[in-house]
Structure 1
Amino acid sequence: MAVVISRNDPAFDEALLDRASVAFGVFDGVHEGHRFIIGEAVNTAREEGRASAVITFDIDPDEVFAADRLKKLMTNEARIAKLAELDVDAVVVLPFSREFAAQSPEDFLNACFGGGVPSHIHIGSDFHFGRKAAGNVESLRAWGAERGMEVHGHELVAEGGRPVTATRIRGLLSEGRAREAADLLGRPYTLEGTVRPGRGEGRDFGFATANLEVPPELLAIGEGVYACYAVVDGVRYKAAVNVGIPATFADTAKENIEVHILDFDQDIYGQPIEVEFVEWLRPMRVFDSTDELIATVQSNIAWVRENL
């Protein structure tokens, strides 16, 4: 497990990055393409007997500049924790703000590295930084050349003839295409939430649900019913999951994730659970009767039981 430290932490030692091999990016989702770039930084470090590091931000810059349309694949905490699981020596976290981003490209880089300039930096070919995103791979190369830093601008990893990007993955998830998104992420798309009391209809109908209220910016997955796994206290269970406000209960519902965990009957109110999305089953719909609703949900649960 890599050490995680903020660039602004008084305990931060600039020697950590000095002559290291680093990968720099936001890395929302820590997907296939991100892991390729980070892996290249690790390879360079090993070839030269140097330390390896990931440099990232404490928040997604879009939280500052595009908060009204933001859809994140992970919380900031989960993203940094996932980066720390990779085969690097350190994850260096840069505090991000509007003022930090408004610096000229050169001042931006000076603030990032100070006196600890890496020997190698690995980035995506679409990397931009500084005021009005004016800095790019070429300007980074010019800055690095004066300081003995080699810049490796990588073309984005492609899958199915298209680059693997967080934007592409968000698009797939918004359409309910959980399996295709998982292929690009390298693992199932996962949400975490704390179980809260719900309306109670599910238990009355014979399929109790754990109800989660997930902030809109963390709900990249589209509305519908899915076959999933729910992870409770480290144990993985099959689950049928409803995403979105059920149309039948639109006037009273607040929860936007309802998780029916198969073969599970524990009180988990107030506990966090993870939901791994595997397969889209059907869209949201209004039912003509309670009997039709119950029959449809029971059919969804049976599919999950037989196919996961």
Structure 2
Amino acid sequence: MKIYRLRYPDSVNIRQLDASSLAIGFFDGVHKGHQEVIRSAQKVADDLSIETAVMTFDPHPSQLFSGKSVGYITPIDEKIRVLESLGVDTLFIVSFDWELASLSPQRFIDIFIKKLGVKHVIAGFDFTFGSKGSGTMKDMQELSEGKYGTTIVSKVTFDQDNKVSSTAIRQLLSKGDVEAAAELLGRPFRTTGEVIHGEKRGRQLGFPTANIQTAEEHIVPANGVYAVRCLIEDTWYRGVCNMGVKPTFHDPEHRIPTAEVHLLDVNIDLYGKKMAIEWLHRIRSEQKFESLDDLKTQIGKDKQTAKDLLSD
């Protein structure tokens, strides 16, 4: 997959760019609704014998307008991975800053659609662009001057008429419902990070763990214990993971939640390694134990529950 990072007005010109069918949107999560937009772009690309392209933006517009960090379902590296797995040929990552946010819909189209050789634009029914989001897909078509076609993709729903959305997925993850989130994503929710040195409490309890430092802007599931799969250097391992603040040892109000993974099948040195965690099943909420013996007993039960859940 070819990747181009664009920034207005400095870096917007690309030489020898192939004609494309373009799916456009922010696509946080690259969930089933987003995948429908991308599939539509791929179908048009096949019909026209051109490439499939995706245009996304970084950072999230609300981060620019509010000044607050956004909890991403798919930070940019994860978004790139998922889009490549879907067979996208070209990815445009456009810097979302005040220069871009001030563009009129006409100017946006001139620079980011017509100049990039786009032959067809596909977006969701609620996609907007240009200054204050004033441009709609109706404007996209009316301003085309016959140089490209457009397709609007209707909302994708779940549970009768609920829209598949990044907001819905965030809400599910905030409750720890990783299985329902996976249904909307079309794949397990994944976080990535580096294994860092922790307090070694798991080792002292007989259950050595790896502490994962995830990116601050990456949303994580609610505190609790989960059955997970972990990818380390191209190998998958089964694991049980505690996401939380370890209330048995710490005051929960003064701790930042961290992911602590115990691998079920092996005991290997992971410090400094990159790890991807796929959150498959929630086992229980995080809780405080009255004694270390009670905690050890529960960890043993959690480990067995994780083995049973991951045995298929």
**TM, length-normalised to structure 1:** 0.91
Q: Deviations over 1:11-46 (max 9, x none)?
A: 8226434xx311111111111111111111111111
Preserved CA contact (<8 Å) 2:22 2:118: yes
- For 1:32-47, list aligned pairs within 5 A: 32-47=32-47
Say if 1:246 and 1:75 are closer, same or farther in 2 by CA, change over 3 A: same
Higher mean C-alpha deviation, range 134-143 or range 295-304 = 134-143
Distance 2:90 2:71 in 1: 27
What is the aligned partner in structure 1 of residue 305 from structure 2? Answer: 303
Answer yes or no: is the 8 Å Cα contact 1:240–1:261 preserved in 2.
yes
CA distance in 2, matches of 1:66, 1:171: 20
Counterpart residue type for residue 266 of structure 1:
I
Is 1:180 equivalent to 2:199 in the alignment?
no
| Cα distance in structure 1, aligned partners of 2:6 and 2:106 | 17
Which residue in the other structure is 2:206 paired with?
206
Task: Determine the structure 1 residue equivalent to 2:295.
Answer: 293
Counterpart amino acid of 1:34? Answer: H
- The 5-angstrom pairing of residues 272-283 of structure 1 reads 272-283=274-285
Residue identity matched to 2:188 = P
Root mean square deviation, CA, Å? 2.0
SS of residue in 1 equivalent to 2:33: helix
Residue identity matched to 1:261: L
Alignment correspondent of 2:222: 222
**CA distance change for structure 1 residues 93 and 105 in 2, over 3 Å: closer, same or farther?**
same
What residue is the counterpart of 2:263 in the other structure? 261
Alignment partner of 2:45: what SS?
helix
1:67: how far off?
5.0
* Superposed displacement of residue 264, structure 1: 1.8
In structure 2, the CA distance between the partners of 1:160 and 1:255, relative to structure 1 (3 Å rule), is closer
Matching residue's letter, 1:123: A
Paired residue for 1:168? Answer: 168
Q: Does 1:75 align with 2:111?
A: no
Alpha-carbon shift at residue 66 of structure 1 (Å):
4.1
Query: Runs of 5+ in structure 1 lacking a partner?
Result: none
Question: How much does 1:117 deviate?
Answer: 4.6
Query: Is 1:130 aligned to residue 92 of structure 2?
Result: no
Q: Where does residue 141 of structure 2 map in the other structure?
A: 141
Q: CA shift at 1:101, angstroms?
A: 1.2
> Do 2:53 and 2:91's aligned partners in 1 also have CA atoms closer than 8 Å?
yes
CA distance in 1, matches of 2:280, 2:236: 13
**Which stretch of structure 1 is more off in the superposition, 272-281 or 42-51?**
42-51
Aligned-residue offset at 1:62: 3.2
1:141-169 CA-to-partner distances (Å, cap 9, x unmatched) read 2212x243222111121122222111111
**Alpha carbons 1:193, 1:274 under 8 Å: kept:** yes
Change (3 A) 1:206 1:253: farther
State the Cα distance separating 1:274 from its structure 2 match. 0.9
Q: Output the CA distance in 2 between the equivalents of 1:149 and 1:221.
A: 41
> CA separation of 1:67/1:219 partners in 2, compared to 1, >3 Å: closer, same or farther?
farther
SS of the equivalent of 1:250 reads: coil
Contact preservation (8 Å) 1:4, 1:84: no
Separation in 2, partners of 1:175, 1:242: 15
Q: Aligned pair count? A: 304
Contiguous gaps of at least 5 residues in structure 2: none
Measured in 1, the distance between the counterparts of 2:91 and 2:213 equals: 30
Deviation at 1:69, TM superposition (A): 5.6
Q: Which amino acid aligns with 2:248?
A: T
Contact 1:176 1:223 in 2 (8 A): yes
**Contact 1:176-1:224 within 8 A present in 2 as well:** yes
TM-score, L = length of structure 2? 0.90
Q: Deviations over 1:239-269 (max 9, x none)?
A: 1111121112225865611111113211111
Could you tell me whether the CA contact under 8 Å between 1:199 and 1:253 is conserved in 2?
no
Shift of 1:82: 2.0
